[in-house]
Structures are given as C-alpha cells and as structure tokens.
DNA sequence: TCAAAAGTGTTAGATTTACACCCATGA
DNA sequence: TCATGGGTGTAAATCTAACACTTTTGA
C-alpha cells in the first residue's frame, strides 16, 4: 500500500438527512422505513454512504436530491455520531445534516414512491439507532442559529402570512407568543416586506401576504423575532 | 467479506483537538508542528486517527490526554471537515473537537516535550490544511453556547477574581464591557460565589476571590454575562 | 507619594411584556 | 347572522448602557 496512513484503519462513513418541513401548523420531519439490513423496516432518517470523491456536504446534498428532487436547499451539518455500536451490523460513523424545505415545493409523488411520511417532531415514533439523538441535536442547532440567520423563510413559500410566520416561529422555538408583540417586531425588520397580495386560503377575511427580501438584510445583524 | 456494507468504500477518519486556554489576558490556543508527512513541520492542531473500537469522543479524549495528561476536561464536538482534498496526501475526514483547559493545571514540561506553543487566537500563524476553519468554527460554537452553559469556569482556576472572569468573557466574546455593569450581573448569579480569600498576585490592594458553585445552578437557565 | 488595580450607584433610554377589542368575509 | 381568523395600540415593568470617583497597598 502506497499510503501515508496505511497503518491506521479506515471506517465507513455515512450521512443522514434530517428533513424539516412546516405543515399543519407544526414542524414536521420526513422519515422512511430503513431499506438495508440490519434494521430493515424500522423508521429511520434517510442516509447514504460517503463516496471517496465527495465531501460530506456533497453526499448529503446527493441524498437529499435523490429523495426530494430539490437542489439549493438550506442545509447544515449537525454533527458526527460515532458510538462504536451505534450501527448494529458494522462500525459506521454517521454525520447528520439537517435541511429545511418548503413542503409546497416538494413533490408528494416522490414521497409515496419512497414510502416516506411526514411526522410531527412532537410525536416521533421510535427511530433506528441514534437517529432520535440526531433529530434532537438538529432542533437545538436550529434554535441556536435562528437569531443570527434568516432560517424561517426556508420553511415557507415565497409569499406567506404573518400568522404562518408566527406559527413557524412557535414551532421551532417550542413556545407560544403574543400576536401583537410578534407583529410589532416584524414591522421593525426591513427584510420582511409586505406585499399588496391577499391570501384567501386560510381565512374568510383574507390576510396580507409578506415576503422575505434578502436585499434588505445588510444592516440587520439580528433575526430575532 | 462478510459485511453488510461491503460494496461501499471506507475512509480514514481522524480527530483534531482545538485546545483553548486563557492566559496573559487572552484566549490562547495550543498548537504544534505537524509530525507526519505530508505537511510535516507546519503549525497544526494536534490530532489522531480514530481506532475501530473507540468513538470520536474517546479518540479526542485520548489525544488530549496524551498531550496534556489531563482527563475530565470540558470538550465538545465542533464538526466534521471533509473537503476531498483537505489532506494533501490521502482522503481523510476529520472531526474537530474543542477543549477548554485551565492553563495552571497544565504541565508545561509536556508542552516543551511535544514542542507545543500557546498562541493568541488573535494572531494565529498559518495552520495546516483547514485547521484555521476548525478554530473559527470552534470560537463560533463557544459564543453560541456560552449563554446556556457555564463555560467560562473551565478556563479559570477554581478561585478567580472578577477581573479575570471579565477578561475571559471579553476574550471569548471579542468585545469589551463596562466593569460596573459586569459586576452587577455577576452579583445576580447565585452560581458565582464570593469567598473570603484575597488574591494578591495581580494587584497591590488585593482582589476578592470567587468560585463557581455547581450546586447553585438549579434554577438559572441563563449564564449570560 | 504615587502608580496600579479593586471596588462601588445612579439615571436615562430602550426593550419587553401583558393585555382586549373591532374588522371583513363566506357559509 | 355568526363563526373564523385578521388586524391593531398603550402603559408598566424590566433591562441595558453610559458614566467617574474613592480605596488600598507595595515599591
């Protein structure tokens, strides 16, 4: 072996994708039945092995793309999970990534094709191996980053009502918040911009639609709602 | 091969330790000259390969213990770094860990034995491969966690003055803060406890020594100074 | 006696929280 | 006409930020 590190052992490395969406007023997760032995049939995150010619980020994007047909999705590394016996079959280190998608952009045919389900993060079934830990770490990560990055909008359509935005906030933070105070805060954020369009889906009266405007990010260093 | 995953390729996985200490009023980093080819001789974090029978956390603890003789050090995973060409020799994925140590507990003979140096995070020399990114991610991680975890105390002796504590705060957050406001905040935190002892090292007049008291953590969910 | 670090309160301004009713519409 | 979700303002309380002088002591 013509290797610098030949004396050390290699291991399998995989990625697992934690795919968050927002629907039915809740934060939801896309999970499926594991396709491989061991653990075949258990509820599981979707994952894949890392190939020699791709980074972890590339592997995660590939898996996500296979599963959703979507590219340019917001994704972020959650962390590496490496308990020696975490995989019941072999020694595999897995790096979790979380993705935030707008469920309206997601092709539900793909979901059925792969046998995936959206489940509320509040009521997850038991998951394969350490996948539940991964999910919990991912939520912790989202909460820590949400004050410094405009994350909410990844879970919403381009046009959204303030009530939707508030529900996303509440779902991620896990706490309810006063409607008037919330709207007061939104008004101070130049990067959330009112349109003249009205959404008639969710109420008889109709609600003004807003949009996220990247161009107005410049000055604001806080996205704290 | 009697393997579930035999069709996939394995990779080398290493850990790298970002060892923070606080001295000379600054946040410092323990780095050394890389011992292996390729890159031998460059300034580098200290690392090691993960063995088949240890988790990443165990590997990082092992490396840290080899280097410092210290156990039960505060450590935390920073993230996995996996650009395909990050290692100039072979494909290696590395998971960075950061450790916070009290430099007074550290045996300086070990430092000299391994040829390590403490360098200020403000003025790092060029580091091997992506190690500088690792350090930057680690500092970002510290800043995000410091409001929810009592991290400061890991960098200080058991007994410390308020001026020292303030300097640790300033070094991590990268901003200066008003002394009176800082002390006001400390007074509201039950887990920072005044002793009757006086430190005479740092001033003629002497300064009261404080200690961190885990037992008083219970109620407080914020460590925001 | 003086240099160097320790220690100490007040006030104005900004931010946060609590709180309740009217509006527009489609069924 | 009524049920449903949309939309709005104020006041009290809390928190934050700015600010300067006195104390102690060893050299």
The candidate with the shortest Cα–Cα distance to B102, out of B149, B168, B55, B42, is B168
pTM over the 0.85 mark: yes
Tell me whether residues B37 and A8 touch, CB distance under 8 A.
no
Q: Encode pLDDT of A10-41 as tens digits.
A: 999 999 999 999 998 899 999 999 988 889 99
The candidate with the shortest Cα–Cα distance to A155, out of A105, A95, A225, is A105
Residue with tokens 């406001």: B181
pLDDT given at position B1? 47
How many residue pairs bridge chain A and chain B with CB atoms within 8 Å of each other?
98
CB under 8 Å to A126, separation ≥6 — which residues?
A42, A43, A132
| Residue B198 and residue B209 in contact, taking contact as beta carbons nearer than 8 Å | yes
Which chain C positions come under 7 Å from a protein C-beta? 3-10, 16-20, 23-26
The candidate with the shortest Cα–Cα distance to A156, out of A224, A212, A205, is A212
Distances (CA, A) of B67 to B23, B81, B153: 18, 22, 21
Q: Encode pLDDT of A117-132 as tens digits.
A: 999 999 999 999 999 9
User: Which H or E element spans position B98?
Assistant: strand B92-100
CB under 8 Å to B114, separation ≥6 — which residues?
B32, B46, B67
Contact flag, residue B184 CB and nucleic strand C, below 7 A:
yes
Q: Tell me which chain A residues have a C-beta less than 8 angstroms from the C-beta of B9.
A: 49, 51-52
| Residue B93 and residue A13 in contact, taking contact as beta carbons nearer than 8 Å | yes
Checking if the pLDDT of A101 tops 80, the result is yes
The Cα A46–Cα A15 span in angstroms is 8
Residue B217 CB-density burial (10 A; 0-12 exposed, 13-18 middle, 19+ buried): middle
Out of B52, B55, B91, the one facing A83 most closely (by C-beta) is: B55
Q: Encode pLDDT of A36-67 as tens digits.
A: 888 999 999 999 999 999 999 999 999 999 99
Q: Encode pLDDT of B172-198 as tens digits.
A: 999 999 999 999 999 999 999 999 999
Integer-rounded Cα radius of gyration of chain B:
20
């Amino acid at each position: 072996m013509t290797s610098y590190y030949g004396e050390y052992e290699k291991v399998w490395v995989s990625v697992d994708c934690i795919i968050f969406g927002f629907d039915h007023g809740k934060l939801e997760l896309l999970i499926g039945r594991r396709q491989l032995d061991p653990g075949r049939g258990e509820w599981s995150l979707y994952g894949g092995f890392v190939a020699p010619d791709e980074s972890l980020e590339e592997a995660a994007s590939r898996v996500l793309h296979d599963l959703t047909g979507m590219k340019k999705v917001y994704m972020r590394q959650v962390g590496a999970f490496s308990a020696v016996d975490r995989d019941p079959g072999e020694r595999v280190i897995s790096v979790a990534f979380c993705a935030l998608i707008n469920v309206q952009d997601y092709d539900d045919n793909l979901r059925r094709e792969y046998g995936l389900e959206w489940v509320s993060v509040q009521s997850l079934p038991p998951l394969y191996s350490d996948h539940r830990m991964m999910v919990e770490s991912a939520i912790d990560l989202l909460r820590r980053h949400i004050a410094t990055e405009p994350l909410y909008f990844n879970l919403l359509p381009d046009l959204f009502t303030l009530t939707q935005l508030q529900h996303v906030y509440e779902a991620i933070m896990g706490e309810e918040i006063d409607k008037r105070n919330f709207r007061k805060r939104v008004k101070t954020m130049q990067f959330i911009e009112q349109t003249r369009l009205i959404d008639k889906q969710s109420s008889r009266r109709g609600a003004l639609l807003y949009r996220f405007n990247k161009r107005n990010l410049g000055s604001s260093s806080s996205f704290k709602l």
